[in-house]
Structure 1
Amino acid sequence: MAGSLLIGSDALASRRDVAAGPLAPLAQSLRADLAPLLEAPNIQLPSEKARMTRTGGRCPVHGVLLRFDPQSPRAHACPICGETFTGDEHYRWWIVNYQLWLAERAVHGAVLGVTTDAPDCRALSVRILDAYADAYLDYPNKDNVLGPTRPFFSTYLESIWTLQLAVALDLLEQGGEAGVGDRVRERVLEPSLALIAEYDEGSSNRQVWNNAAMMAVGAMLGRTLIVERAFDGKSGLLAHLRGGLLADGSWYEGENYHQFAHRGLWYGVTIAERLGLVVPDELRSRFAEAFAVPFGTALPDFTFPARRDSQYGVSLRQWRFAESAELGLARQDDPRLQAALVELYRDDVQAGDTERARSTAEAERNVGPARLTRASLGWKSLLYARAQLDAGGTATRQASSVHLASQGLAIFRRQAGQVYVALDYGVPGGGHGHPDRLNLWLVDGPSRWLEDVGTGSYVERALFWYRSTLAHNAPLANGTSQPYGDGLLRAWDEQGDVGWVEAEFDIVPGRARATRRIVVMRDYVIDELWWASADEITLDLPMHVDPEEGPGTGWEPAELPQAQGTGFEFLREIERAKGKAFDALTVSRDGASMRAWMQSDAPCEWYRARAPGPPGSAPRRFIFARWRGRAGRTRSVWAWDAGISNVRFTPETVALSLGDGSLHAHREIKQSWHVRTTLGDASSEVVLGGRVTNPRQASPPLSDAISNLPRHVLAAGRPFTMELGERHYRRSELPWEAAGSPEATLRVASGRDAVDVDVHVRKAEPYFAPARPENPLDNEDPDINSDGIQLYLFLPDSQAHGSWLLVPDHAGGVRVTQRQAGGSVPALEADWRLTPDGYRVRCRIARGPRGLGIDRAFMLNVVINEISRDRERRRGQLVATGATGEWVYLRGDREDPHRLLAFEIVDA
C-alpha cells in the first residue's frame, strides 16, 4: 500500500497543489487554529483520568453544557448566563474534551505538515504524540462508565482518541518522520488496541468507532486478524453498513446518531478501500446515500428532528455538516449535496464563531448556527474535498416530501417546505430509541406544534421522561410506555398536495393493536387513530399543546397513578376537564395559532398536566385524552390555515368547508383514500393508493415468549439450588478471577405462606454503601454501586411483574427499593447476616390471592451486585441466568424480562 491509511501517495501529492491554491484559505485557517499550541513551550497533559458525574460540565441552572476552552481547565462558563464554575467535577469533564481536542490537533499538525510543507506543524504533531507516549500507561483503567479505557470513562472515546493519534502518526511517517513511531506504537497504540478489541458493543454507533480504531491501528501494527474482525466480523464495518445503516441510507438510531455513526463509517470505508478490502456495491451505495439523509429530514428552520436520543434544536448550519456534504460530493455527484452546500454557504447568515478551533475530534459537540465558507471546513476537506465546487446554483431547502421506508418515517412537506407533517412509525432505534411508535409531528415554519423533543442529559433523572411514550404524541396502553418493537406500514402515497400514510403497532404485545392514519392536504391534516384489544384497556393519546380555554371549558384537580418508569411520575398540576370532551380547540404561541376539531366514537376523559419541556427549557403544560374499553376510534383535523370554516364528522366521512366556498369530502373506499373537492358545479377527486398487504406477525405476550423455559418444581422439602461462579459473572474492567472470584449459592424454596429466596454470597470484605438520597454519578439508583441483590419476579397468570433492589444495612435491616412495572406484585420481606465467607440475604415473597398462590407458576431472576471499597462504581455482577461474555456497563438495575428461571409450586 503506497501512501497512508487514508490517502495514496499520488493523491497526496495532488492535494499539495489544492492546499496551496483553491483551498489555501482553509489551510491558513487551520494553521491559525493551531497558533496557541505552536507558540506553547510544552504540551500540557492532565494527570487525572476523566470522570463522568451528573453535574460535571453542565450549568446547574440551565442544564446546558459549559463552554469548552482548551486553555481554561479550571474555569468554565455557561453560554447562557455567563456564570463561571470552578468545581473539580467540571474540571474532570473538561479533561474529556481536552484529550480529544489535543489528539485532533496532532492530526491537524500532520495534515498541514504533509500538505503545506510546514515543519513547525509537523513538529507540533510529534510533540503531542511524544507526550502521550509518556503519559498513557499512567492513566488507570478503572471505574469506567461504558467499557474499558484509560484516559476516559468510555471505550468509544478512547477509540476516537486513538484513531486520531494513529492517523497523525501515519501521515507523519508518510511525510518522512521516523523518530516517534516506535514509542507511540509500543506505549499507546498497542495497549490501547488491546482494551478496545476486548469490548464489543454490537450494533451500537459506538462500535463503529471501535471498528475504525481497530482497522487503523491493526493495519499499522500488522494485526491482520484484528483488521478482518473490524471489517467483516459479526459487529464489524460490513455488518454496520448492512444492518445499522438501513436500506434508505438512514442510521437506525435516529438523526443525532446518524451523523456521528456515518463519520465513523467514513473512516472504515476509506481505510478499507486503501487496504484493498471489498465493500459490496449495494453497501457502498447505501453509504453514499447516507450523506444526503440529514438534509432530507430537516425541519423548516434547518435543524434536524430530535427523534429518539437526539439533542434538541440542533442546526445543520455547522461546519461538520458542511464537511460531510463535501466528503459525499467528493465521492460522487449528488445534486442534493450540491444544493445543501449552496444553502450552507449562504452569505446572508449572521456571522458567528463556528467553534472549529475548539472541536473535540469526532465526539458530538453541537454548536449554534453560523455563517460558513469553505475555509470553515475541517482537515478531511484539505485531503478530500473537490478543488472547486460547481459555479452557480441557488440555495434550496428541502421542499418535497420524503418517505424513509426502512426507518419508518413519512414526512409530508407543504407550502414550499414551511409546513412539515410526519408520522414516525417504524424501527424502534435500539438502545437510543424511544417508545414512540405512531408519533405525530406538525411544524409550521418556526412553530413546533407537535414534535419530538429528543433527550437531555443522559445522567439526569429527566432522561426517563424523555424516554417515555407520554413525552411524545403517540398512544400508550394501561398507563405504561409502549413495548419495544417495530411499527408496520399499511399505506403510503402522495399525489401533488394530497398524501397519506397509515401504520400500526402492537401497544400490548399480542393483545392490543393501534393503527394511525394521517391525510395531509395543503392547509390541514386529518389524524385518525383506532385500536382493538382482546382485553379491556386504558388508552391514552398525549398531545403536547396547551390549548386556549374556550366557553364552557373548565378544569378541576385530579389524581392519576404515577408509577416509576411510566412517565406519569413526572406530571405536576394534574387536572381533568369538566363536562364533555373537546370538539374544537385553538393553540397559540409566539403570535401564531393552530386550530383543531376532534371527534371520538367512545366517551373519553381529557387531562392536562405540567411536565418537563424541551431540554434546557422550563416545564410546560400539555393535554391527553383517555379512553377505556376494547376498541375505539378518534379523529381530528389540524389546520394551519385560517380558511377552514367548518368540519363535520360522520361515521364514514370527514367533510370540510373552506373559506373559498369549496368543500372537501374524505372517505376510505376499498382500501384507498378518496378526496373529492367540490366548488360550485365543478368537482374533482384524488384517489390515494399505496396499500401494503404484507402479513403481520403478532407480537407474543411476555408469558408466551417465556413459556418454553424449563420449569423447576418446588415442593415441601425439595428446594431449588444453584451455584453461581465464573460463567455467571458480568464483568467491568476486571474479569472474574482478577475481581476476586466472587461466588454465591441461590436457594429457592416454597412454604405454606411464602416462597423463600436465599442468596449466600461468598466474597472477601463485602462493602454495603450507606443510603444516599441521590446518585452523584448518574441517574441510576445509587444502591447499584454497592454489594447487594437485585430480585426480579414475573407472574405469568396475571402478567404482573416487579423488581426489588436490596442492600444490607449496617443497622441490621435491609434497604429495599421496589420497582413495579405492571400489575399487582406480592409483598416482600428481607433480612440478612454476615457469614465467615461473605454475607447472606433471605427474601420472603408472600403467597396467597395476590401473591404466588397455590399451584401457581412464577419466574425469577437474581442478580448480585459486587464492588470493592476503592471504587465508586460497581465492579461486576453474578447473574443467575448466566452472563458469559457480558459486561456490566449501563445496565443500572434493568434486566431482560425474557431471561428468567421458571418455577412451579406443587403443594402436598
Structure 2
Amino acid sequence: FGPLTRTLIAGPDYLLDLVELGSDREHTVELPWHLADEFAVETADGWTADSIAGDGEFVHDVQRLLRGRADDLLRVRVGMDGRALHLCFDGELLRARAPGAPGTGPDIPFLLLRGRGRAVRFLSVLDTGAGGPGIEAVSTSGGVIEVRTGAGLHRHAVSTDGWEIRMGAETVRLRARRPAETTLQPLIADRPARAHAFAPHLLQPPALDGTLDGFDTGFPLTLDYDDQYRRSEEPYPGAEAFSARAWAAWSDEVVYLAVDVRTDDPRLRTTDAAPLRLDNEPEDIHSDGLQIYVRVAAVGSLGEPAPVYGFLVIPSADGQLRVQGTGGTAGNAALIRGAWALSDAGYRVTLAMAMPPDAFPSRDGLRTGDRLDFDLLVNRLGAERERREGQLVWSGGGGWIWLRGDRQDPARFGVLELG
C-alpha cells in the first residue's frame, strides 16, 4: 500500500501483526481492533472523551487513554479465559462502541490505534491458543521483536527476503513476502527538493587535527530536525540531544569536511570489540560515526554511471580515524586522512577525501562551479545498545533505520556546489 506495509505472522498460539509507515510526508494512521468479545485495558491511567472521524451515526462513546508514556507496552485482557492483546506503539489508544457483525445484537466495544508522522509503527500480538493465555511477555529491541510463551522465547526479525523466527536452537525462515508494486512517477512527484550546500575553495589545506583551523565556517550544513532522522524504536530526541553541523571545502582534487556532532557520551566501537554477528552488514555501523558519499559526475566518459565514493568513518581511541569503503561504492580507506577530537558537546571529525582520476570522466581536478552529488549521515549508537539507535541524514527523508546497513540511495544525494 505505497509507503504503508502490514506483516502478519500466524503461529500455533499467537498472531503477530506489524503495521509500518515510512513516508516523506506526514500521515495519520488508524488501526482498529474488533475483538468480538468484552475486553479491558490493563492500565492505571484514565480516559477522556475524544472523537473519531465519522462518529455519531454508528460510532459512539469514544474515549482516549491518557497514557503516562506514549511508548509503554499495553496489555488488553480479552474475554474470561485470560487471553490478551499486547500492543506496542507510539501514539494514541481509543475505545468506542459500534455495531458488530450481522446477528451479534447490540453495539460492541472496539479499540483504535492512532499515530501521526512520517514514521509510524504499530505492533500487536494476540493470544490465539485454545488453552488460554499463551503469551507471557512481549518486548522490542532494535529490529527484533521478542515474544515469550510458555514454550520459550521467540525472536522475530525482518530478513532481506522475508521474516525470521528464532526459537532456541531452531530458526524458521518465511519467504512469502509480497513484493511492493513500484510506480516511478509518484516517487518523483513526492520527492522533496534536493538539499543544497556551498563549499568554498581553500588556498591552503586545513589542519585536519580535530579542530576547525583552516576551515571557512560561513557555510554550514545542518542536521538538526526530525525530517532528517531515521529512527529505531524511539523518535528523534531533539537537536539538544543529537544534531550535527558540517563545513565542506575543496582544493584541486581534494574535498575537505569538518563535522561537529552534538551527542551525550559518544559510544565508539573499538577494533578489538567482540563480533556482534547481528546482520550481514559492517559492524562499524553500530557505533557513533559518519557515513559520507561523494560523486563528482553523474555520467562516466563512456556514458556509464560515474562511480560513487562512500566511506564509513569511525573515530578511534588514538585520535585517528578508522575508515572503510561502503558497500556497492568505489570508496576505500586509502582515500581518507584526518583526525578527530572530543568537544564540549560531543565530538568533531576533520578529514580530507582525495578524489582519484576515475572520479573525473572528462578532465582532471575540481573546478569552481562544479556541482557534486553529496550526502552525509551521522550514526548514533545510544546508551545500553548493541544496534545503532538512529542516524541523521543531511539530504533528509526520515523513516526507519533498520536494514539500511551502510547504503544510501544516490537518487537521494544532495548537491555540494564548489565556489
Give TM-score, length-normalised by structure 2.
Answer: 0.51
Tell me: CA distance 1:738–1:760, structure 2 relative to 1, closer, same or farther (3 Å): closer
Aligned to 2:75: 188
Return the match for 1:898 from 380, 391, 411. Answer: 411
Tell me: CA distance 1:458–1:900, structure 2 relative to 1, closer, same or farther (3 Å): farther
Alpha-carbon distance between aligned partners in 1 of 2:316 and 2:243, rounded to the nearest angstrom: 21
Alpha-carbon distance between aligned partners in 2 of 1:866 and 1:235, rounded to the nearest angstrom: 20
Structure 1 residue 867 displacement after superposition: 2.0
| Greater share of strand | 2
Alpha-carbon distance between aligned partners in 2 of 1:739 and 1:192, rounded to the nearest angstrom: 32
Contact 1:726 1:741 in 2 (8 A): no
Tell me: CA distance 1:195–1:222, structure 2 relative to 1, closer, same or farther (3 Å): closer
Alpha-carbon distance between aligned partners in 1 of 2:91 and 2:396, rounded to the nearest angstrom: 23
Tell me: CA distance 1:147–1:783, structure 2 relative to 1, closer, same or farther (3 Å): farther
Contact 1:788 1:808 in 2 (8 A): yes
CA RMSD of superposed structures (Å): 5.2
Letter in 1 for 2:349: V
Tell me: CA distance 1:903–1:731, structure 2 relative to 1, closer, same or farther (3 Å): same
Equivalent residue runs for 1:311-710 within 5 Å: 709=194
Aligned to 1:888: 401
1:808-866 alpha-carbon deviations (Å, 9 max, x no partner) = 11122211121252568892223211112211112211146344622243211111111
Alpha-carbon distance between aligned partners in 1 of 2:243 and 2:257, rounded to the nearest angstrom: 16
SS in 1 for 2:328: strand
Aligned to 2:201: 716
Alpha-carbon distance between aligned partners in 2 of 1:824 and 1:738, rounded to the nearest angstrom: 31
Is the counterpart of residue 786 in structure 1 residue 287 in structure 2? yes
Contact 2:261 2:347 in 1 (8 A): yes
SS in 1 for 2:257: strand
Is the counterpart of residue 849 in structure 1 residue 357 in structure 2? yes
Aligned to 2:346: 838
Tell me: CA distance 1:147–1:721, structure 2 relative to 1, closer, same or farther (3 Å): same
Return the match for 1:803 from 310, 325, 348. Answer: 310
Tell me: CA distance 1:735–1:828, structure 2 relative to 1, closer, same or farther (3 Å): same
Letter in 2 for 1:895: Q
Letter in 2 for 1:804: F
1:497-548 alpha-carbon deviations (Å, 9 max, x no partner) = xxxxxxxxxxxxxxxxxxxxxxxxxxxxxxxxxxxxxxxxxxxxxxxxxxxx
| Greater share of helix | 1
Alpha-carbon distance between aligned partners in 2 of 1:869 and 1:235, rounded to the nearest angstrom: 23
Equivalent residue runs for 1:228-247 within 5 Å: none
Tell me: CA distance 1:905–1:786, structure 2 relative to 1, closer, same or farther (3 Å): same
Letter in 2 for 1:195: F
1:539-589 alpha-carbon deviations (Å, 9 max, x no partner) = xxxxxxxxxxxxxxxxxxxxxxxxxxxxxxxxxxxxxxxxxxxxxxxxxxx
Aligned to 2:389: 875
Contact 1:848 1:854 in 2 (8 A): no
Aligned to 2:260: 760
Percent of aligned pairs sharing the same letter: 25
Return the match for 1:776 from 266, 274, 277. Answer: 277
Contact 1:802 1:820 in 2 (8 A): no
Alpha-carbon distance between aligned partners in 2 of 1:457 and 1:881, rounded to the nearest angstrom: 32
Is the counterpart of residue 731 in structure 1 residue 231 in structure 2? yes
Contact 2:197 2:221 in 1 (8 A): no
Structure 1 residue 766 displacement after superposition: 0.7
Contact 2:294 2:374 in 1 (8 A): yes
For CA contacts below 8 A with separation 6 or more, give which structure has more relative contact order: 2
1:422-465 alpha-carbon deviations (Å, 9 max, x no partner) = xxxxxxxxx988xxxxxxxxxxxxxxxxxxxx789699xxxxxx
Alpha-carbon distance between aligned partners in 2 of 1:783 and 1:146, rounded to the nearest angstrom: 29
Give TM-score, length-normalised by structure 1.
Answer: 0.26
Tell me: CA distance 1:185–1:866, structure 2 relative to 1, closer, same or farther (3 Å): same
Is the counterpart of residue 742 in structure 1 residue 242 in structure 2? yes
Tell me: CA distance 1:899–1:774, structure 2 relative to 1, closer, same or farther (3 Å): same
Tell me: CA distance 1:455–1:709, structure 2 relative to 1, closer, same or farther (3 Å): closer
Tell me: CA distance 1:752–1:740, structure 2 relative to 1, closer, same or farther (3 Å): same
Tell me: CA distance 1:838–1:195, structure 2 relative to 1, closer, same or farther (3 Å): same
Contact 1:774 1:781 in 2 (8 A): no
SS in 2 for 1:734: coil
Letter in 2 for 1:750: W
Alpha-carbon distance between aligned partners in 2 of 1:456 and 1:734, rounded to the nearest angstrom: 22
Alpha-carbon distance between aligned partners in 1 of 2:181 and 2:308, rounded to the nearest angstrom: 19
Equivalent residue runs for 1:30-41 within 5 Å: none
Is the counterpart of residue 814 in structure 1 residue 292 in structure 2? no
Question: What 5-or-longer segments of structure 2 have no aligned partner?
Answer: 1-8, 22-31, 46-73, 78-84, 93-99, 101-107, 127-150, 167-174, 186-190, 203-215, 301-305
Alpha-carbon distance between aligned partners in 2 of 1:747 and 1:789, rounded to the nearest angstrom: 14
Tell me: CA distance 1:713–1:768, structure 2 relative to 1, closer, same or farther (3 Å): closer
Contact 2:337 2:353 in 1 (8 A): yes
Alpha-carbon distance between aligned partners in 2 of 1:833 and 1:759, rounded to the nearest angstrom: 11
Aligned to 1:751: 251
Alpha-carbon distance between aligned partners in 1 of 2:243 and 2:331, rounded to the nearest angstrom: 33
Structure 1 residue 731 displacement after superposition: 2.2
Tell me: CA distance 1:812–1:714, structure 2 relative to 1, closer, same or farther (3 Å): closer
Q: How many residues align?
A: 275
Tell me: CA distance 1:847–1:750, structure 2 relative to 1, closer, same or farther (3 Å): same
Question: What 5-or-longer segments of structure 1 have no aligned partner?
Answer: 1-96, 105-144, 149-161, 174-179, 199-215, 237-263, 265-357, 365-430, 434-453, 460-466, 468-483, 488-696, 699-705
Alpha-carbon distance between aligned partners in 1 of 2:40 and 2:327, rounded to the nearest angstrom: 56
Equivalent residue runs for 1:95-134 within 5 Å: 102-103=13-14
Larger radius of gyration: 1
Alpha-carbon distance between aligned partners in 1 of 2:120 and 2:19, rounded to the nearest angstrom: 17
Tell me: CA distance 1:763–1:147, structure 2 relative to 1, closer, same or farther (3 Å): farther
SS in 2 for 1:898: helix
Alpha-carbon distance between aligned partners in 2 of 1:103 and 1:485, rounded to the nearest angstrom: 29
Contact 2:337 2:351 in 1 (8 A): yes
Letter in 1 for 2:353: I
Letter in 1 for 2:387: R
